[in-house]
Structure 1
């Protein structure tokens, strides 16, 4: 099966069951992102230099059979796909991806983080975590909820970033931004940022994130491109919140026009959206073609990403990486 079609099918399913030899070293658990709070964890299945992240679910019709030593076979629709399991350094392969505050005072409808019994990691603990994987990562990525306020969270993240600079690795940051967040992160030496508009339209954003500002995120994205440069600023757009494909095409064009690379993130039904479905593979493939065309026309290339989601590619179809 062609990789892009296989990955779209796997992203539609979202999960697989794991069997065969013990594979604990390949199973990770997250405090943020699509698999936040998933007790069973997730794994990365790779074929060559391409990868996909799958949650673990004993009820899934898709199976990953571990032969041992990371060698694995994915069985889907009676087809066997040989590949390997990739160990996650921290959260994903080849990156120390750290969630700083595992809780959030905001209650976006698609996000389960506010309901989790999370904590804020101490800076010394974060440094120790990165030290533990520094010999097998190429980058550091930082994300966070908002423990008390946007301003207080930013101040703490700046302290975290300053403490991690001595590792000499490229650092990317994805948090909810204040008006001065881009400039302050850039001044510290951060190389990439990801500020998420989340929804394809302002109406949907207000419905999904009623306590946050759509306009403020766009302002931060615009100022970030001037600071970090093209191919260094990203924004997640969730697919499956109720938008049309035309809505997504329009917002991707708007982001690309200001030099921002959109990251199309298939919805993981959670929180108050547990009754929703993950987007079907056919829709993801159609959107991929549109996404690829818009990026090419704008001269943007996700393959240049050094950190965060566009460098990992596990949870999304990424133009230039998954064709």
Structure 2
């Protein structure tokens, strides 16, 4: 499958987001999330075609059908078209990474997020280290994300302890938490290789509506400081596509981040939590924004294929120029 065929297929798959699976058992290929777009769901799997990858949530009924033929070989059907591929084994949460949620609960109530209602327990340093040990040799990176258990400052301090504890594994460590102004320097000193601080929404007004009590402007300032410390192309920010922004607003946000040396990760909305009545962006819009992002990254001299950790290295939930 050539790149243009894959981009078209992946946009269609992300616009649906789910798959119904038949055939041989798939338990060894299923991963379950405690953060991110699949938090609290039935689980998901990674369909791969050559170097291409997409993550799909499991559903009892879906326009996407995946037939497991055995030993990971599958046939995917969408709109009557059939595509062969394989299911990838996740290490922790995704292939080739130990992607760990430190604290699967949160004191904040962002409207698109299920984590606050899950009320999961924070993992101890020993538990996190043991998780990495369980997949060591099968991973190229460690990625850490977290909610906020008590306060932003307390969560940052704990994340710094986790990073320091995991440096002994000698693989790149990426971290995505809600930051303070001191977070980039503290994570860098602890041994993190990359960071991802999420703007989530394309405009300040949308951010305020979606994430009460948090600051869009502070994150923008912290992202700029992060680029100074970690370097252009090693700082990322998730932006959700489908919160009510216009194409022009999304494009302006992409341009602004790229000019600062930040790689935007454009995440199609998963309509859950308070946004369950919203709809996912359609395939045409997903591909339109992907093409715009592709051009903006090239113009700014940013190459997501150089990313070592987290979403740009996984590319399961998002369309990542340079890796697709």
TM-score by length of 1: 0.98
SS for the counterpart of 2:82 is strand
Whether 1:45 and 2:39 are equivalent positions in the alignment is: no
**d(CA) in 1 for partners of 2:63, 2:191:** 45
**d(CA) in 2 for partners of 1:115, 1:190:** 29
Residue aligning to 1:198: 200
Runs of 4+ in 1 over 3 A off after TM superposition: none
Tell me how many residue pairs correspond in the alignment. 321
Residue aligning to 1:185: 187
Trace 1:260-279 onto structure 2 (pairs within 5 A): 260-279=262-281
Residue aligning to 1:165: 167
Trace 1:218-229 onto structure 2 (pairs within 5 A): 218-229=220-231
- Report the Cα offset of residue 117 of structure 1: 2.9
Residue aligning to 1:63: 65
After superposition, the C-alpha distances for 1:140-185 in whole angstroms (9 at most, x for unaligned) are 0000000110000001101111110100010000000011000001
Residue aligning to 1:309: 311
Residue aligning to 1:25: 28
SS for the counterpart of 1:136 is coil
Residue aligning to 1:258: 260
**d(CA) in 2 for partners of 1:231, 1:154:** 22
The answer to whether the 8 Å contact 2:200/2:238 transfers is: yes
**d(CA) in 1 for partners of 2:61, 2:72:** 23
- Report the Cα offset of residue 210 of structure 1: 1.2
2:111 pairs with one of 109, 112, 116: 109
**d(CA) in 2 for partners of 1:73, 1:148:** 46
The answer to whether the 8 Å contact 2:112/2:271 transfers is: yes
**d(CA) in 1 for partners of 2:248, 2:100:** 34
Whether 1:144 and 2:185 are equivalent positions in the alignment is: no
Whether 1:174 and 2:194 are equivalent positions in the alignment is: no
SS for the counterpart of 1:224 is helix
After superposition, the C-alpha distances for 1:296-319 in whole angstroms (9 at most, x for unaligned) are 000001010100000000001111
**d(CA) in 1 for partners of 2:69, 2:233:** 38
SS for the counterpart of 1:135 is coil
**d(CA) in 2 for partners of 1:79, 1:290:** 27
SS for the counterpart of 2:38 is coil
Trace 1:119-138 onto structure 2 (pairs within 5 A): 119-138=121-140
After superposition, the C-alpha distances for 1:110-135 in whole angstroms (9 at most, x for unaligned) are 00100113110011000000000011
**d(CA) in 1 for partners of 2:67, 2:236:** 35
**d(CA) in 1 for partners of 2:287, 2:161:** 41
Residue aligning to 2:287: 285
CA RMSD of superposed structures (Å): 0.7
The answer to whether the 8 Å contact 2:106/2:119 transfers is: no
Q: Greater shift after overlay, 59-68 or 140-149?
A: 59-68
- Report the Cα offset of residue 61 of structure 1: 1.8
- Report the Cα offset of residue 188 of structure 1: 1.4
SS for the counterpart of 1:44 is strand
TM-score by length of 2: 0.98
2:301 pairs with one of 299, 302, 313: 299
SS for the counterpart of 2:243 is coil
Residue aligning to 1:14: 17
Q: Which runs of 5+ in 1 are unaligned?
A: none
Q: Greater shift after overlay, 1-10 or 11-20?
A: 1-10
